[in-house]
Amino acid sequence: MSLFFLYSIIQIKMGLSIHCFLVVFFLISSNFTSSVNAAILDELLPNGNFEEGPKPSNIKHTIIKGKYSLPKWVKKGLVEYISRGHQPGGFFFAVPRGVHAVRLGNDASIYQYVKLVKGSFYSLTFSATRTCALDEVLTVSANKVSADLPIQTLYSSNGGDTYAWAFQATSDIVRVGFHNPGVEEDPACGPLLDSIAIKEMSPLPKPKGNLVKNGDFEIGPHVFKNFSTGVLLLPHSMDSISPLPGWIIESLKPVKYIDSKHFSVPSGFAAIELVGGRESAIAQIIRTIPNKFYLLTFKIGDAENGCHGSMLVEAYAGLENVKAKYESTGNGGFTSVGLKFKATSNRTRLTFWSSYYHTKLDDVTHMCGPVLDDVRVVPF
């Protein structure tokens, strides 16, 4: 029996009041559905972890045969389907989030089409690691916008290097792609790619009692729940839209976005780890009143990740600066720092960087650094 037929019988038997009730019910249901659909997008792309592999007939050794053989993805060129562990030729590939990943050979790419909201901002979080050449590059794109990500520097030794890249959707259907532009002697050489997630970036709320936007770093890219070494945020030259709203990564090296589930952070859910010494800096331009005094406060510490030694964070506010020291044993903790400054214009730049390079106590190949959190500026 159709819903319309059943509804007609009820209306005839019970009168107009039932009709009004059903109209209200359907309106409420419709509004509820709309609110569910309006939930912020924050999840893996379809088969973003590559655990759904090609059919056995569509793979030879590790090489995927057929343009559409990798579920939910379209591939071009030589793409390998990798299982973690020892590989032929003496390689060992770490795949810390699951079992499988893909490797992009010379001039190879994968992409898929994603339904988004035109004009909205999004960030991609993905794991990417070089496997052969020291100068490997990964190109990430969304429609006609792209960035070349240099991945020659390894920030973690367990294959967990994770990056974020942000873009604005120029249409309702966006082609999200990853490409290896390199041409190596071994055509199979190329970056290992795994765990690709997308997150919609909500507009920043107007700060209350603080001139700094997103000063607690609570609004940022997707963070993987099951395993995280932090999310590397690209320098501004490679990412014109910051995956950390309100902030500019103005340096040669990225900074790392860390969360409280996997690291020690001074307060709240997230913080920034300055992993590249003077080569990684973070900045924000705030509105100020010329000749008025302000107080900048922030917290520095360590992420409880084995990063140790004498840490020094240099902070600049207009013409003033402070060198904040923190002695780290790698077991967590933080200290609070303050700087009084006088604004010289209606815009004041705040900049933070680490003076020294640091590595983990038990792993000198794992780059790390001091943690920055809870940045505030108030009139003094």
pLDDT tens digits, 40-56: 789 999 999 999 999 99
Asked if residue 18 is part of any domain, the answer here is no
Cross-strand pairs, 142:
145, 176
Q: What residues pair up with 326 in beta bridges, in sequence order?
A: 311
Give the Cα separation of 322 and 336 in Å (integer).
12
Residues 46 and 187 in one domain: yes
28 falls within a domain: no
pLDDT at 373 over 50: yes
Tell me what pLDDT residue 208 has.
Answer: 83
Q: Is residue 243 assigned to a domain?
A: yes
User: Domain count of the chain?
Assistant: 2
**Averaged pLDDT, 202-225:** 91
Answer with the residue of higher pLDDT: 15 or 74.
Answer: 74
Using pLDDT thresholds of 50, 70 and 90, give the confidence band for residue 89: low
Measured CA to CA in angstroms, residue 32 lies from 21, 35, 315 at distances of 16, 5, 47
Q: What percent of the chain is modeled with pLDDT above 70? A: 87
Pair 248, 109 in one domain: no
Burial 111-121 (b: 16+ CB within 10 A, else e): bbebebeeeeb
Nearest to 310 by CA among 324, 322, 327: 327
Are 237 and 333 part of one and the same domain? yes
Do residues 191 and 269 both lie within one domain? Answer: no
**Pair (90, 155) in one structural domain:** yes
- Whether 163 and 305 map to the same domain: the answer is no
Tokens 């790419």, residue located: 109
Instruction: Determine contact, residues 165/124, Cβ cutoff 8 Å.
Output: yes
Q: Does 189 share its domain with 237?
A: no
Flag whether 12 is in a domain: no
Indicate whether 57 belongs to any domain: yes
DSSP strand pairing (347-354 vs 363-368): unpaired
Range of the domain at 129: 42-200
The confidence score (pLDDT) of residue 220 equals 95
Residues 74 and 181 both lie in one domain: yes
Summarize pLDDT for 316-348 with one digit per residue, the tens: 998 999 999 999 988 899 999 999 999 999 999
Would you say residue 332 lies in a domain?
yes
CA atoms within a 13 Å half-sphere pointing along the CA-CB vector of 362: 4
> What is the predicted pLDDT for the residue at 1?
41
Does one domain contain both 123 and 265? no
Q: What's the pLDDT score for residue 30?
A: 35
Domain boundary among 200, 223, 243: 200
- Model confidence over 251-286: pLDDT tens digits? 888 999 999 999 999 999 999 999 988 888 999 999
Q: Is residue 214 part of a domain?
A: no
**C-beta neighbour count of 97 within 10 angstroms:** 22
**Tell me, what's the pLDDT at 99?**
86
What pLDDT was estimated at residue 97? Answer: 82
| Sign of torsion over alpha carbons 109, 120, 201, 237 | positive
Cβ-contact 271, 258 below 8 angstroms: yes
**Average pLDDT, integer, range 196-203:** 93
- Give the confidence band of 362 by pLDDT, cuts at 50, 70, 90: confident
Which ranges in 56-132 belong to alpha helices (H)? none
Summary mean pLDDT of the chain = 85
Verify that 235 and 301 share a domain, yes or no. Answer: yes
Domain membership flag for residue 209: no
Q: How confident is the model at residue 189 (pLDDT cuts 50, 70, 90)?
A: confident
pLDDT above 70: residue 28: no
- Kindly state whether residues 256 and 359 are assigned to the same domain: yes
DSSP per-residue string spanning 130-154: --S-TT-EEEEEETTEEEEEE--S-
Residue 358, domain CATH: 2.60.120.260
Domain boundary at 177, 200, 223, which?
200
DSSP H or E stretch at residue 34: helix 16-37
Question: pTM for this structure?
Answer: 0.86
Question: pLDDT at position 276, please?
Answer: 87
Domain identity same for 170 and 57: yes
